[in-house]
Amino acid sequence: MANPYPILPLNVLDDLADLNGALDAYQQLMTAWIQQTMTEGPSGDRQLFAAGCQYLLRPILEGYQSIESQAKAFQEMGVVGVCTLAESHQEQQQ
């Protein structure tokens, strides 16, 4: 069975690369913090660190939510098309 994919104007997706990069940097920060905590034990105030992480993640999440909101708005206006891509031969064998 084929899956539908939305076709969006490029200006909706302009910030996607930056958001993905910021999310990767956040993931690396969290991985490093967890590794440090596992090897050396917790350092500093964990509640302050968690609050700081929330403030780092919030703009990233809001960016993704903005893209979703714009995509929904374009869909409601009828600007967004849907492309159906057939499954690859490899997917069909599974």
- List, for residues 42-63, the tens digit of each pLDDT value: 888 888 888 888 899 999 999 9
pTM: 0.70
**CB distance 9 to 79 below 8 Å:** yes
**Residue 78 confidence (pLDDT):** 78
- Between residues 30 and 88, which one has the greater pLDDT? 30
Q: Is 52 exposed, middle or buried (0-12, 13-18, 19+ CB in 10 A)?
A: exposed
Count Cβ atoms below 10 Å from residue 44 Cβ, excluding itself. Answer: 7
Alpha helices in 10-83 (DSSP H): 16-40, 46-77
